[in-house]
């Protein structure tokens, strides 16, 4: 029997907001919840609200070949034929792939499903970019014959706990279950993604011990934990979220790097209310560089560098030198040098630093902060 959709507040729900943002970022979601609590109904309602199809694959009832493909002899050789659900999703070019009961599937099936999550490949069929992947799992203590997720597999998901309030379910039974609402999800922008990645990189510069921390016990390793991969995924998902939507931002980060690291990062980002990269590029003198703390200066210049290089044009690359030169003049040579090296590595073909940056580069090369040949 299908569980009724747990009603959600008519206000925006961070869970739905994060799931939509993760889908746009190409990050797979793992929805944790008790058996029968309505995980599949929640996702079906989200798919219906977006007007896209959903294909449910119950992992515990499948064999590895259901994900790896079945060998079929053709005139050109042996092909791995994809199952019907994958063919339908590929034909739709959009939709949700729901991998249900992932933790009750044996490790061999989990490993086969992992290739779908990682490479978006089923047999010889590649799923379109528009297909969002969501898996569901029951907590080990509530799953009959369940298996813990291996750390490498868990580290490829955004983990979300789904536990709807009893009052919401009672209201839904009384007045009807409503289509869930999500908060605002931003359109894709390479500039926003670059700025988001720069923020994460700046935070890790202040807390390098949080870059990679493999949990010591099996239970924790099957959930969210910080790694190079999940910090990158965090930056990419946050690029689709309104920075002012703190509940959604915290939920997304927690689901990828764990509660401790996420809480510290979101707090750091809130306290470091930095000027926008576009504003700094437009007027480098508007930033009080001489009184700016080194960590904030690093975050500001890193965001400017990432923003300018993401633009992908010679004009954007050239404009990024002005804030670096002004910051260096204000005494932040080390910070400016680090970003100068990054800019030089991403130099468009046939482009040289502007004349206004030559004196600044000469100071850095004389001080040994960047190689002489790199500034040429």
Each residue's pLDDT tens digit, 123-139: 999 999 999 999 998 88
- Residue reference for tokens 């949080």: 210
pLDDT exceeds 80 at position 366: no
pLDDT band at 219 (very low <50, low <70, confident <90, very high): confident
Between CA 79 and CA 72 the distance in angstroms is 5
Domain ranges of the chain: 14-175, 190-271, 277-375
Under a CB-based contact definition with an 8 Å cutoff, are residues 50 and 94 in contact? no
Under a CB-based contact definition with an 8 Å cutoff, are residues 241 and 192 in contact? no
- Residue reference for tokens 């070019």: 93
Between CA 237 and CA 49 the distance in angstroms is 21
Can you give the pLDDT at residue 361?
75
Can you give the pLDDT at residue 299?
87
* Percent of residues in the chain assigned helix, strand, coil, to nearest 5: 55, 10, 35
- Which residue, among 302, 57, 351, has the nearest Cα to 199 in the 3D structure? 302
Under a CB-based contact definition with an 8 Å cutoff, are residues 80 and 71 in contact? yes
Each residue's pLDDT tens digit, 68-105: 888 887 777 788 889 999 999 999 999 999 999 888 88
Q: Determine how many CB atoms are found less than 10 A away from the CB of residue 76.
A: 6
Can you give the pLDDT at residue 371?
64
Each residue's pLDDT tens digit, 127-173: 999 999 999 988 876 655 667 788 888 999 999 998 888 887 787 78
pLDDT exceeds 60 at position 1: no
| Residues 33-40, mean pLDDT to the nearest whole number | 87
Each residue's pLDDT tens digit, 339-355: 888 888 888 888 888 87
- Which residue, among 301, 304, 302, has the nearest Cα to 278 in the 3D structure? 304
Q: What is the CATH number of domain 14-175?
A: 3.40.50.300
Between CA 160 and CA 96 the distance in angstroms is 17
Per-position b or e across 309-345, b if 16+ CB within 10 A of its CB: bbbeeeebbbbbbbbbbbbbebebbebbbbbbbbbbe
- Which residue, among 47, 56, 42, has the nearest Cα to 13 in the 3D structure? 42
Between CA 280 and CA 236 the distance in angstroms is 22
| This model's pTM is above 0.85 | no
> Which residues partner with 71 through β-bridges?
80
Can you give the pLDDT at residue 8?
40
Between CA 367 and CA 371 the distance in angstroms is 10
């Amino acid at each position: 029997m299908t569980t009724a959709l747990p009603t959600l507040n008519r206000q925006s729900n961070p869970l739905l907001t994060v799931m939509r943002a993760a889908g746009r970022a190409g990050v797979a979601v793992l929805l944790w919840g008790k058996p029968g609590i309505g995980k599949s109904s929640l996702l079906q309602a989200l798919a219906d609200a977006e007007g896209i199809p959903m294909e449910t694959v119950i992992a515990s009832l499948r064999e590895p070949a259901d994900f790896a493909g079945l060998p079929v002899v053709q005139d050109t050789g042996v092909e791995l034929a994809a199952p019907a659900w994958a063919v339908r999703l590929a034909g739709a070019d959009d939709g949700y792939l729901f991998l249900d009961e992932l933790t009750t599937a044996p490790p061999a099936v989990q490993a086969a499903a992992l290739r779908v999550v990682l490479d978006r490949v089923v047999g010889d069929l590649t799923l379109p970019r528009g297909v969002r992947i969501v898996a569901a799992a029951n907590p080990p203590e509530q799953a009959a014959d369940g298996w813990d997720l291996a750390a490498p597999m868990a580290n490829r998901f955004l983990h979300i706990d789904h536990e709807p309030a009893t009052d919401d379910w009672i209201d839904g039974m009384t007045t009807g279950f409503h289509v869930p609402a999500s908060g605002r999800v931003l359109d894709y922008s390479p500039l926003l993604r670059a700025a988001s990645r720069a923020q994460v990189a700046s935070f890790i510069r202040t807390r390098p011990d949080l870059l990679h921390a493999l949990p010591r016990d099996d239970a924790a390793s099957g959930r969210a934990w910080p790694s190079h991969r999940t910090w990158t995924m965090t930056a990419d998902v946050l690029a689709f979220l309104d920075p002012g939507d703190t509940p959604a931002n915290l939920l997304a980060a927690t689901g990828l790097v764990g509660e401790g690291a996420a809480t510290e990062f979101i707090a750091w980002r809130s306290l470091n209310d930095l000027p926008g990269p576009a504003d700094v590029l437009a007027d480098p003198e508007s930033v009080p560089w001489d009184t700016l703390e080194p960590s904030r200066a690093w975050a500001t210049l890193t965001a400017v560098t990432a923003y300018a290089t993401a633009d992908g044009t010679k004009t954007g690359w050239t404009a990024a030198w002005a804030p670096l030169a002004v910051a260096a003049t204000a005494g932040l040579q080390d910070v400016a040098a680090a970003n100068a090296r990054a800019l030089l590595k991403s130099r468009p073909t046939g482009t040289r630093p502007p004349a206004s940056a030559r004196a600044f580069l000469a100071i850095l090369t004389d001080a040994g902060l960047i190689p002489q040949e790199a500034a040429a």
